[in-house]
Amino acid sequence: MRAMAQCHRCPAEHEFNEQSMTKDGWDAFVHIDQPNGVTLQTQFCPRHARWWTFRYWARRYQWRIGRLSRKLGPPGYSWCGRCKTTWNYVHGHSTTYALGRACFPLCVKCWAELTPVDRLPYYRQLFDEWGRDDLTWAELKAAVLNEGNPEWPDTIETIQ
């Protein structure tokens, strides 16, 4: 039996038969959880089903997939300064530099792999991109170098 099916991502219909339905994944529906709590059920062709599965696992396990994440994800996300993976695939490590203010130029995994001195170039790059008047490089550098030190105050404003 031959039939046609529409993939959720392809503009063209694909021909399939009973054998290709089970072998290539056409019989498997993909469940997409929406923010409003509704679960959608959709169908992908074998090519797009593989990409969707890869994106799902990359997000779930925080894989650092680098610049590929910009191609797979929606536009508008910035990325980790070291591994170049966008924030919709990895979590950023927040470094508090003032009361209620933090920045995250590195993902959690990259941050953990670097020493405080090795992290400084990434924070400097972010600082230069910001061009902020309310923060100096010396304050941000002090926060980066002393992060995790139990004797260091939580906020820079308490240091006088």
Range of the domain at 10: 2-61
What confidence tens digit (pLDDT) does each residue in 32-56 have? 555 555 555 566 666 666 767 777 7
User: What are the residues whose beta carbons fall under 8 Å from the beta carbon of 150, sequence distance 6 or more?
Assistant: none
pTM for the model: 0.65
Q: In this structure, are 106 and 145 located in the same domain? A: yes
Last residue of a domain, one of 12, 42, 61: 61
What confidence tens digit (pLDDT) does each residue in 83-125 have? 999 998 899 999 988 888 889 999 999 999 999 999 999 999 9
Q: In this structure, are 89 and 136 located in the same domain? A: yes
The confidence score (pLDDT) of residue 36 equals: 59
The confidence score (pLDDT) of residue 155 equals: 47
Q: In this structure, are 6 and 57 located in the same domain? A: yes
Q: In this structure, are 52 and 75 located in the same domain? A: no
Mean pLDDT of 74-85: 89
User: What are the residues whose beta carbons fall under 8 Å from the beta carbon of 73, sequence distance 6 or more?
Assistant: 55, 86, 88, 89
Q: Is 152 exposed, middle or buried (0-12, 13-18, 19+ CB in 10 A)?
A: middle
Most distant CA atoms of the chain, gap in Å: 79
The confidence score (pLDDT) of residue 111 equals: 95
Last residue of a domain, one of 33, 61, 89: 61
Q: In this structure, are 124 and 159 located in the same domain? A: yes
Percentage of the chain beyond pLDDT 70 is: 59
What confidence tens digit (pLDDT) does each residue in 126-155 have? 999 988 888 899 999 999 998 866 555 554
Tokens of 154: 């939580």
Q: In this structure, are 96 and 136 located in the same domain? A: yes
The confidence score (pLDDT) of residue 82 equals: 95
Q: Rounded distance, CA 52 to CA 114, Å?
A: 32
Q: In this structure, are 71 and 117 located in the same domain? A: yes
The confidence score (pLDDT) of residue 8 equals: 63
The confidence score (pLDDT) of residue 128 equals: 93
Mean pLDDT of 15-19: 48
The confidence score (pLDDT) of residue 40 equals: 54
Q: In this structure, are 57 and 102 located in the same domain? A: no
Q: Rounded distance, CA 55 to CA 66, Å?
A: 13
Last residue of a domain, one of 42, 61, 80: 61
The confidence score (pLDDT) of residue 12 equals: 59
- Angle made by CA atoms 156, 86, 117, in degrees to the nearest 5: 40
The total of structural domains in the chain comes to 2
Q: In this structure, are 76 and 56 located in the same domain? A: no
Q: In this structure, are 26 and 73 located in the same domain? A: no
Q: In this structure, are 79 and 126 located in the same domain? A: yes
Q: Is residue 70 a contact partner of residue 53, using CB atoms and an 8 Å limit?
A: no
Q: In this structure, are 46 and 77 located in the same domain? A: no
